[in-house]
């Protein structure tokens, strides 16, 4: 077959953009696996993609969540970033550090994005420090908590075999018109990828929303919270799904 003439205009435009970035944005990633940065490679690449779009360098500060467990000794680092991101993960190690970092972002009005477990930690933090539910937690970390703001669905609780019970793959999300998520996506319905088992407990939705944590994205088929936001904050958005997989 005769080869067509190559059209490299799009590639040349991308290369030119990357070579002429102007200014930078400092993002602090508070995670559990910060020693192995490839654990968050999709997040790193998607942040870079966003930087290219806005013609900004993205400077990442890696913050070990375990180092902010007690008294937030890394407050100085958190003060010096333009935004804080708490990504996905499993298990209790480093959870209190992530919650401390989210509290810091909420109170100091630092732009915040939570992804998957990051959203769950945001709900726990809000429950503890705004709703005054001192024992607010996920049943993943404390099965006997008196306030399971994050929990398995009833369907999962009744499953005899937990194999194959994850919410996995692409799910529909209906966005609240006027929300930050809606303004970012510029559409009413999106489809995003998931990989998790625990959810925001619907029994707490009314209390959370009345106190200011607004649910702005819903999976209509299962009536599950997909996105939460705080209105009176420059940018406080947390999502249950993985938007970094589709950048």
Give catalytic residue positions.
116, 242, 244
Q: Do 189 and 175 meet the contact criterion of CB atoms below 8 Å apart?
A: yes
**Rounded to 5°, angle at Cα 132 from 28 and 130:** 45
State the number of CA atoms in the 13 A half-sphere of 201 facing the CB.
21
* CA pair distance 75, 163, nearest whole angstrom: 40
Tokens, residue 127: 């429950």
DSSP per residue, 94-109: THHHHHHHHHHHHHTT
Q: Encode 106-143: b = buried (16+ Cβ within 10 Å), e = exposed.
A: beeebbbbbbbbbbbbbbbbbbbbbbebeebbbbbbee
Q: Do 68 and 121 meet the contact criterion of CB atoms below 8 Å apart?
A: no
């Amino acid at each position: 077959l005769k080869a067509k003439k190559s059209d490299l205009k799009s590639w040349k435009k991308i290369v030119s953009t990357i070579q002429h970035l102007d200014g930078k944005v400092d993002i602090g990633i508070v995670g559990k696996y910060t020693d192995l940065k490839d654990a968050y490679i999709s997040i790193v690449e998607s942040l870079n993609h966003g930087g290219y779009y806005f013609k900004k360098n993205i400077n990442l500060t890696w913050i070990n969540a375990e180092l902010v467990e007690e008294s937030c000794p890394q407050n100085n680092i958190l003060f010096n970033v333009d935004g804080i991101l708490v990504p996905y993960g499993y298990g209790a190690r480093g959870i209190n550090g992530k919650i401390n970092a989210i509290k810091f972002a909420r109170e100091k009005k630092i732009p915040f994005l939570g992804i998957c477990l990051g959203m769950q930690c945001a709900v726990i933090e809000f429950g503890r420090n705004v709703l005054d539910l001192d024992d607010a937690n996920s049943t993943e970390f404390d099965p006997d908590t008196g306030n399971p703001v994050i929990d398995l669905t009833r369907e999962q609780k009744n499953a005899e075999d937990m194999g194959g019970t994850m919410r996995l793959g692409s799910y529909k999300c209906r966005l609240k018109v006027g929300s930050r998520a809606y303004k970012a996506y510029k559409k009413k319905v999106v489809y995003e990828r998931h990989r998790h088992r625990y959810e925001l407990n619907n029994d707490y939705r009314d209390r959370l929303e009345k106190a200011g944590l607004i649910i702005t994205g819903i999976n209509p088929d299962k009536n599950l919270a997909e996105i939460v936001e705080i209105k009176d904050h420059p940018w406080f958005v947390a999502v249950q799904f993985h938007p970094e997989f589709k950048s």
